[in-house]
Amino acid sequence: MHKKQITVALSGLNNIDNPGPGIPVIRGIRESNMFEPRIIGLAYENLEPGTYMHNLVNKTYKVPYPSDGVDALIERIRYINDIEKIDVLIPNFDSELFTFMKSADILKKMGIATFLPTLKQFEERHKSNLPKFGKKYNVKVPFSIALTNINDIDNLTDDFEYPVVVKGKFYDANIAYSKEQALIYFNKISSKWGLPIIIQEFIKGIEVNVVALGDGKGNTIGAVPMRKQYITDKGKAWSGITLDNKNMLDLTHKIITDTQWCGGMELELIKTSENELYLIEINPRLPAWVYLAVGAGQNLPEALVNLAMGKFVKPFSNYEVGKMFIRYSYDMICNVDEFQELSINGTL
Amino acid sequence: MKNIIKLKTNIAISEKGFMFDPSTGDSYTVNAIGLEILGMIQQGKVFVEISDMITAKYDVEPSSFEQYFFDFIAVLKQMQLIENNDA
C-alpha cells in the first residue's frame, strides 16, 4: 500500500510520570499503514523526553507558553510552518487548546489542518460547567461548584459533606477529608493552575475511563473503555485494561451524538456499586493512555489525522477486550550538545 | 437449594483458575477445587448434585461442604460474578 507522506506537528512530548499524550499519539501515527509521517515536536520545556526520542520525533521546536498570548504562539507556528510545511497539527494539552481553537482559521490559511472541538463544546464541558452540562444532556454528574475565593471554603458544608474533591481548572485533583485539607489543596492547586478551583461531590465507586473520537457530526469513530489497574501518586494510570462495558459505550455514543463532538476526548467516569455511571470530567483531547486503544485495534490517532485532512473514516466496530498496558520508565542517554542546541536555538 | 446458580455469562475462566470479569476489569484466581466447583456451576448443576460429587471425591463431610460452598458463593456474589441472587 502506498503510504502518504505527511508532516504532523504535535505537543505533549512530556513523557514523564504525569505524561502528556504526544508520544502515544505519535506511536499510533507511526504504526499506521497509510502514512509515511514526518513528526514535528512542539516543546515548552528543554527536558521533555520526546524531544530526544529521535526514532519517534524528527525535529522539535520550542514554542512559547499559551499564557504568553495567542500572537506569540501563532507567530512561532507560522515560522515553523514556513520551514516544515505542516499538514496536521495536534495540540495535546488542555491548556493550549483554547489558543489553537481560536486560531483554527489562521492555521487553515497557513495550510495546517486541525481536528478540534468547537469553542462551545470546549467551554460547556469545563469542570466548572459540568453541572449545567449534566442537566442539558441528561447525564449523571456529581454536584460541583467553582470557587474563586479561598474564604468560600468556610461555607462548603452548606452544600457538601466531606470528603470533597478539590480540582484545578485544567489539571490536578485531591480528595479533602476536612476543611483544613480543602484549604491546603485550594492553595496548592490555584498556585499552579490559577482560579477557579472546582469543589466536587465525592462519588464512591471505581474510576473508569473511555477514550473516544467524534467526527463532529454526531458519529463516534471509535471508543475504548478502560479501567486503571495501577494508579500513581499523581493519580495517573500506570497500568490499565480494556473493558467490555456496554453502559460505558452507550454513554460515550450519547455524549458524542448529543454534543456533536469533534475530535478526541477522554471521559472520566465513576461506576458506583449500583452500576450507575457518573461523569466526572471530559478531557477534550486524546489521553496519554490512547496507545492502549491502538493496541486493542482502534488506531484513533491515525483516524484523527485522516479526519483532520478531510478524509472519510469508517467507524471502528470492535476492539480487543482484556488488552492491557503497563507503563515503564527508561533512561535515555543524551549528549549535552543536544540540550544546548534546544536551549540556545530552540530547535533540535 | 435447588436453584441453579448462574455465573455472569461474560466471565472468562481459564483452565488454570484465572477468572476475568471483562465488564469491570477485575481478575481473580481460584484453587483447583474452586475451579472444579465453578465448572459444575457452569454446567448448570444445583447444590445437591455438586455436594454429592465433591463429598464422594474428597474427604469432606456434607455439612462442612455446605458451609464452605455457600461461603464461596457469598464471595462470588460479593464480587458480582453471579447473575441471580436466589441461590
pLDDT > 50? residue A274: yes
Domain that holds residue B23: 12-78
Between A236 and A318, the higher pLDDT residue: A318
For residue A29, being part of any structural domain is answered with yes
Q: What does DSSP assign to residue A86?
A: -
User: Which one of A201, A220, A243 terminates a domain?
Assistant: A201
CA distances, A2 to each of A7, A32, A34, A35 (Å): 16, 12, 7, 8
Contacts of A100 (CB under 8 A, 6+ apart): A89, A91, A107, A114, A116
For residue B83, being part of any structural domain is answered with no
> Rounded CA gap, A77 and A61, in Å?
9
| A146-193 pLDDT, tens digit each | 899 999 898 888 888 899 999 988 778 889 998 889 999 999 999 888
Percent helix, strand and coil across chain A, each rounded to 5?
35, 25, 40
Chain A's closest residue to B80, CA to CA, is A273
For residue B53, being part of any structural domain is answered with yes
For residue A62, how many C-alpha atoms fall within 13 Å in the half-sphere facing its CB?
14
Residues in A touching B25 (Cβ below 8 Å)? 208, 226-227, 229, 240-243
For residue A28, being part of any structural domain is answered with yes
For residue A271, being part of any structural domain is answered with no
> Rounded CA gap, A286 and A273, in Å?
28
Pairs across A and B, CB distance < 8 A: 24
Q: Do B22 and A226 touch (CB under 8 A)?
A: no
Contact A257/A250 with Cβ under 8 angstroms? no
For residue A173, being part of any structural domain is answered with yes
Phi and psi angles of residue A308, each rounded to the nearest 5 degrees, phi first: -60, -35
Residue whose C-alpha cell reads 457530526 in the numeric block: A217
Q: What is the DSSP string of B42-71?
A: HTT--HHHHHHHHHHHSS--HHHHHHHHHH
For residue B22, being part of any structural domain is answered with yes
For residue A228, being part of any structural domain is answered with no
| B35-68 pLDDT, tens digit each | 999 999 999 999 999 999 999 999 999 999 999 9
The structural domain count of chain B equals 1
Chain B's closest residue to A242, CA to CA, is B25
For residue B30, being part of any structural domain is answered with yes
- Separation in Å, CA of A242 to nearest CA in chain B: 7
Please indicate if any CB of chain B lies within 8 Å of the CB of A310.
no
Residues in A touching B23 (Cβ below 8 Å)? 243-245
Interface test with B, best of A321, A323, A324, A325 (most B CBs within 10 A): A321
- How confident is the model at residue A47, as a pLDDT? 95
Least confident span in A114-118, A156-160, A217-221: A156-160
| A92-111 pLDDT, tens digit each | 998 899 999 999 899 999 99
pLDDT > 50? residue B86: no
From the list B58, B57, B52, the residue with the least C-alpha distance to B1 is B52
The structural domain count of chain A equals 2
For residue A76, being part of any structural domain is answered with yes
Chain A's closest residue to B11, CA to CA, is A244
CATH number at residue A172: 3.30.1490.20
Domain that holds residue A50: 4-114+331-345
For residue B84, being part of any structural domain is answered with no
- How confident is the model at residue A158, as a pLDDT? 83
**Residue A13 and residue A56 in one domain:** yes
Contact A40/A60 with Cβ under 8 angstroms? yes
For residue A95, being part of any structural domain is answered with yes
Q: Do A227 and B22 touch (CB under 8 A)?
A: no
**Residue A149 and residue A85 in one domain:** no
- How confident is the model at residue B3, as a pLDDT? 73
CATH number at residue A88: 3.40.50.20
- Separation in Å, CA of A43 to nearest CA in chain B: 35
Contact A34/A66 with Cβ under 8 angstroms? no
Chain A's closest residue to B10, CA to CA, is A244
Please indicate if any CB of chain B lies within 8 Å of the CB of A229.
yes
- How confident is the model at residue B85, as a pLDDT? 52
Residues in A touching B12 (Cβ below 8 Å)? 322
For residue B35, being part of any structural domain is answered with yes
User: Which one of A201, A226, A244 terminates a domain?
Assistant: A201
The crossing angle, in degrees rounded to 10, of helices A246-259 and A130-137 is 90
For residue A243, being part of any structural domain is answered with no
